[in-house]
Amino acid sequence: MSSEDAITVADVLAPPAQSCKRIVPVILAGGSGTRLWPMSREQFPKQLIGVVGRDSLLQATVTRMDGFAGGFDIDTQPVIVCGEEHRFTTEEQVRLCGVGAKIIVEPARRDTAPALTLAALAIAGAGDDAIMLAMPSDHSIANLPALHAAIETAASYAERGMIVTLGVPPTRPDTGFGYIRIGESLGEGVHLIDRFVEKPAAELAAQYVAAQTYWWNSGIFVVRASVWLDALAHLNGEMHATCMAALRDGHADDHFIRPCPHQFGRVPSDSIDYAVMEHIGGGSDAPCKGVVVPLSAGWSDLGSWDAVWEAMEKDGLGNVGSGRVLFEGATSSYARSEGGRLVACVGTTNVVVVDTDDAVLVADRSHAQDIKRLVARIREQHAPEADAHRKVRRPWGFYDSIEHGDRFQVKRIVVTPGARLSLQMHHHRAEHWVVVRGTALVTRGEEQFLLSENESTFIPLGVRHRLENPGKVQLEIIEVQSGSYLGEDDIVRLDDCYGRA
């Protein structure tokens, strides 16, 4: 596009060529959230955790548009893009919200641009050119009416063919956020986007805030499906083509849309900002323009424990406690007890303490961004605390590793009513099962039998077996494993109703 063809402010403000009054929430739920370790782990990241309330951040995002009363219709079936390892927990949490979602399962992580592209292709492929409201699943927003008002304004620009982002006027210099330099005013606080800026150093962040022309990048985008796809095809044709191939060669089942792993493996990894938004500022030759709408709604991306502390209600001395926590002479501290133990902070200042079943974090709040480096070191040591909690969720329920030692391991296994584990065998371990609650239907070799409370059975090494809960209450068993190797990869699945390999 030449400078003579560049989109003008008049074009931005012109009525839409084709009206579109339908908004489809698109929830990006593929992050790992390592800065909120030890609560957030690779296998159970922060969006699945109740960081600032009883509901998980994902559940809060799913219900965030409830009560929207603007001039646009909100689709009650959001599109959620998540990773393969989190699909069952994502589905369960959404179901508990009473929402029927379309869940797209990424075979591998490729950042936010491919995730939004899969959603846009799925929406457009259904013959729809709805306005997408793309929201990360790990944010906190205190004032929902203010959010709804900003989204209605953003949708009115997206309807005209703009790519719109919500920018947060900064309240302090912060090195943990990206920034947007605002351009020409469109009225009512709305601006063209001049450019996107990466996370700055502290001195530069202070200059941005003082200039009053830089807003925090919220990561929330509002855009028509066709506009996003056209912009991506223009700016990153390879990503557009490979995402199309992945969805075309994929398949859908009762619960999930599953792009082809081989094709998706060819998709370039990139964020929405890098792939598109950095190219649609002032003077660019992109086929559309970017608009930023102000968001003043108590927004936080909860990217660190310091951000969690900022977002929560504090006592008179600036402390935040969750679980069994006591403060004595402490100020501006955050403490959380997840394992049921008492956490006591005496005389602490600007400290974060997080206690879980298998790890304790103690950090200065000003160094909360450094936790990501700590998790990398834990992973380099091949320690399990980087990836999984002691309590591991599965589509049939969960297990809790109570104790382990040389050649033995003890687990508490809980199976939800009507659920069953895969039919499986092990090469290196035998198992003893004791039922402590409920009724178990056991398959052992060619046998099948019921076990009631206080009854037990033995599964020899190499024998195929399955555990099921035929009852209406939770089944709880204690499993004692013994053998030369007790890793989770010593599972040969012979049949599985959840489609796991």
Boundary (domain end) residue, out of 274, 303, 332:
303
How would you label 368-380 residue by residue, b for 16+ Cβ within 10 Å and e otherwise?
A: bbebbebbeebee
The reply to whether 8 falls in a domain is no
What tens digit of pLDDT does each residue of 240-279 get? Answer: 999 999 999 999 887 799 999 999 999 999 999 999 988 8
**Cα-to-chain-centroid distance, residue 221:** 16
Q: What's residue 1's pLDDT?
A: 36
Residue 442 has pLDDT above 50, yes or no: yes
Calculate the average pLDDT of the chain.
91
Residue 117 has pLDDT above 90, yes or no: yes
CATH number of the domain where residue 464 is located: 2.60.120.10
Give strand ranges (E) for 242-371.
Answer: 251-252, 256-258, 290-294, 299-300, 320-322, 325-328, 334-337, 343-346, 351-355, 360-364
Residues 162 and 32 in one domain: yes
Residues 208 and 291 in one domain: yes
pLDDT band per the 50, 70, 90 thresholds, residue 3: very low
How far apart CA 448 and CA 465 sit, in angstroms, is 9
Average pLDDT over residues 407-419: 95
Q: What's residue 10's pLDDT?
A: 52
Q: What's residue 2's pLDDT?
A: 38
The Cβ of residue 42 has, within 10 Å, a number of other Cβ atoms equal to 17
pLDDT band per the 50, 70, 90 thresholds, residue 6: very low
Q: What's residue 104's pLDDT?
A: 96
Residues 237 and 296 in one domain: yes
CATH number of the domain where residue 128 is located: 3.90.550.10
Q: What's residue 489's pLDDT?
A: 86
Boundary (domain end) residue, out of 380, 399, 434:
380
The reply to whether 167 falls in a domain is yes
The reply to whether 2 falls in a domain is no
Residue 345 has pLDDT above 60, yes or no: yes
Q: What's residue 168's pLDDT?
A: 95
Q: What's residue 429's pLDDT?
A: 95
pLDDT band per the 50, 70, 90 thresholds, residue 18: low
Average pLDDT over residues 190-198: 91
For the entire predicted model, the pTM comes to 0.85
What tens digit of pLDDT does each residue of 51-87 get? Answer: 988 899 999 999 999 999 878 999 989 999 999 889 8
Residues 204 and 310 in one domain: no
Residues 189 and 260 in one domain: yes
Which domain range does residue 350 map to?
306-380
Residues 489 and 471 in one domain: yes
3-class SS at 217?
strand
Residues 371 and 396 in one domain: no
The reply to whether 210 falls in a domain is yes
The reply to whether 500 falls in a domain is no
Residues 358 and 481 in one domain: no
Residues 360 and 441 in one domain: no
The reply to whether 233 falls in a domain is yes
Boundary (domain end) residue, out of 333, 357, 380:
380
Residues 342 and 416 in one domain: no
Residues 346 and 217 in one domain: no
Residue 233 has pLDDT above 50, yes or no: yes
Average pLDDT over residues 424-452: 96
Q: How many domains does one find in the chain?
A: 3
Residues 316 and 448 in one domain: no
Give 121's DSSP letter: H
Lowest mean pLDDT among 126-135, 411-420, 452-461: 126-135
pLDDT band per the 50, 70, 90 thresholds, residue 218: very high
Query: Tokens at residue 303, please?
Result: 């990217």
Average pLDDT over residues 440-460: 96
The reply to whether 4 falls in a domain is no
